[in-house]
Amino acid sequence: MILKVFMTNLEIAKLLRNVAASYTIKDEKKYRFQIIAYQNAADSIEHSITELKDLQRENRLNELAGVGSTIKEYLAELLKEGKVNHFSSILKGVPESVFPLLDIPSFGPKKAYKLILAFKLKNPETVIKDIENLSKKGKVANIEGFGEKSEKDILRAITEYKIGKNKTVRMVLPYAIEQAQKIIEYMEKSKDVIEVSTLGSLRRMVSTIGDIDIAVSTNNPKKVIEYFISYPAKERIVEKGGTTASILVSGGKQIDLMTQPPESFGSLLQHLTGSKAHNVHLREYALKKGFSLSEYGIKRKIENEKWKMENYSEEKSFYNAIGLEWIPPEIRENTGEIELAVSHKLPKLIELKDIKGDLHLHSNFPIEPSHDLGTDTFEAMIEKARELGYKYLGFSEHNPSVSKHTPFQIYDIIAKRNERIEQINLSIKDIRIINLLEVDILANGNLALNDKTLDKLDAVIVSIHSGFSMNKELMTKRILAGLSHPKAKILAHPTGRKINERKGYDVDFNKIFDFCKENNKALEINSFPSRLDLPDTQVRQAVDLGIKMIINTDSHTAWQMTNMRYGISVARRGWAKKDDILNSLDYNELIAWIQKK
């Protein structure tokens, strides 16, 4: 039997990029649109949260946005046969040694091919090393189209690539926000800076960030750029022009700065916030209406093939000028928002101020838990809740360790905790405490506590904390079994992913969604920076299916309760409205939901 090794999404995306690169090398003009199509397909597959082989098996390849029928057929062939004849014929004639170079920033197909050809480099295994050596010997500078400077740039690019400086470990959102805040505060100290904003994926609040993009409103871009490139944490200047500049800061992260005068600041924000797909779609739509969009403003087609430019200081008036309502940055991903903005039917997304409580909190109550205990008292967390303007809280420490206690001991601990919570509810009026617990779903699908103990609680949050590698069918059964307990109302961090650490467990979410919908169960949007789970794309599915969600912080200390805003951004990216989110309800409404069978 032949063991079939399936390609991962990243490998497939790389293959498609190689196809695009081959087209570029062979005849960029002739294949211009094929190149775009293959690059779009590669992007789409890279961003897919499901492995292609799973999509294929489940007959869901059509869910890949931006991949058309032709490439989809090739992908099906690839997954079935392990190769695609059409791809092979495109790749034929382009030396394999070109492709490794494309992973190095500043190397594109043309440059790589030129060097390969000039030095007759055939070996893809050694090509990077070969070019490095040739650059060191000064041979590259002699090639037509290259010079001493570009030779130096090549050497540096290879060096940085080799030490993994630009290895794309993306920043988790809160880390990126922290970095951005520092540079924003620095920029605001310049008297030439009128206004500063984030741009790009950071402004869209994507859960992981590559580069930090910053917009500055100024009448003196030259001075602002000089000021920017003297940022104390700067390691080196990547580029510097009349209106934009880029620097690398410690940790190898790149910060890009774009400037416009205040009268065009809205245009700048608009031009550089959307995802590539959003931008392309919007600009194409506008073009058909006779508008050309850029960071300078809107060019309007007037008579005799002439254009008239209008600036926009506000982003809202920019959108309005082409007949759209303003689109919140979080949903500028080209997933239907442009069409709805045209018809002025965008949903009103949930906001931080809509949140009235947080139901996933770990205090330091000595519950002798199976997992980590919180570090702050009930009182400290209540005080924090007051600060945040909340009306209720749910304490939900992990259940007492099952292996270290008898069921009777566990009952006893819970009884003591109940007393404390009852006392608190008697002593304070402004905030109501809901008596919850985060209970493990054991490998067999049972909850970690018996019914007698569970009866002492208002409800429980259930979650997986062991046996992550279970197969899909078993894991799905396990979760549904746990959720089916009448006291189980919320599934915490439903996919179990940890950003940059581990993928989620293998679960059939269609079944989870159906079950929640039919049985009045809620899915958590966990705001913890490394979780952000449910992920935004699945929030969108849940919203479309009418499943209720709750945004919790999973705080283990009081200050972490401010992480709520990250959960909000995930919910907004998933198009969640106030009535999709349970902790926007008043206390009585929420209790009614909890008690509803």
Partner DNA sequence: GCCGTTTTCGGCCCGACTGTTTTCAGTCG
The reply on whether position 95 binds DNA by CB under 7 A is no
**By C-beta, is 154 or 507 nearer to DNA?**
154
Residue 42 half-sphere exposure toward CB, CA atoms < 13 A = 18
Of positions 43, 132, 160, 211, contacts DNA by CB under 7 A: 211
The reply on whether position 111 binds DNA by CB under 7 A is yes
**By C-beta, is 286 or 507 nearer to DNA?**
286
- Residue-by-residue DSSP string for 137-150: TT-GGGSTT--HHH
Sign of CA dihedral 552, 555, 558, 559: negative
Site string for DNA, 9-28 (x = CB under 7 A): ---------------x---x
Of positions 179, 243, 526, 553, contacts DNA by CB under 7 A: 243
Of positions 242, 306, 427, 429, contacts DNA by CB under 7 A: 242
Tokens of 543: 């919203």
> Taking the complex as a whole, how short is the minimal distance between the CB of residue 334 and DNA, in angstroms?
10
Q: What is the 3-state secondary structure (H, E, C) of 287-342?
A: HHCCEEEECCEEEEEECCCEEEEECCCCHHHHHHHCCCCCCCHHHCCCCCHHHHHH
Provide Rg for the chain, Cα atoms: 27
Q: Is 405 exposed, middle or buried (0-12, 13-18, 19+ CB in 10 A)?
A: middle
The reply on whether position 292 binds DNA by CB under 7 A is yes
The reply on whether position 38 binds DNA by CB under 7 A is yes
Query: What DSSP state is assigned to residue 196?
Result: E
Compute CA 468 distance to the chain's CA centroid, rounded to the nearest angstrom. 22
> Taking the complex as a whole, how short is the minimal distance between the CB of residue 225 and DNA, in angstroms?
8
Site string for DNA, 248-267 (x = CB under 7 A): ------x-x-----------
**Interacting positions 116-145 with DNA (CB under 7 A):** 141, 144-145
Of positions 13, 15, 42, 71, contacts DNA by CB under 7 A: 71
State how far the Cα of 526 lies from the Cα of 396, in Å rounded to an integer.
13
With beta carbons less than 8 A apart as the criterion, state whether 227 and 216 touch.
no
Return the ∠ at Cα 152 (arms to 147 and 155), rounded to 5°: 125
The reply on whether position 67 binds DNA by CB under 7 A is yes
**Interacting positions 188-207 with DNA (CB under 7 A):** 200
Segment near DNA (CB under 7 A), from 69-77, 385-393, 451-459, 466-474?
69-77
**By C-beta, is 160 or 354 nearer to DNA?**
160
**By C-beta, is 102 or 481 nearer to DNA?**
102
Return the ∠ at Cα 254 (arms to 249 and 257), rounded to 5°: 105
**By C-beta, is 154 or 551 nearer to DNA?**
154
Q: Which amino acid is at 482?
A: G
The site for DNA (CB under 7 A) is made up of 24, 28, 33-34, 36-38, 40-41, 65-72, 86, 105-112, 114, 141, 144-151, 153, 200, 211, 213, 239-245, 254, 256, 276, 279-280, 283-284, 286-289, 292-296, 299, 339, 342-343
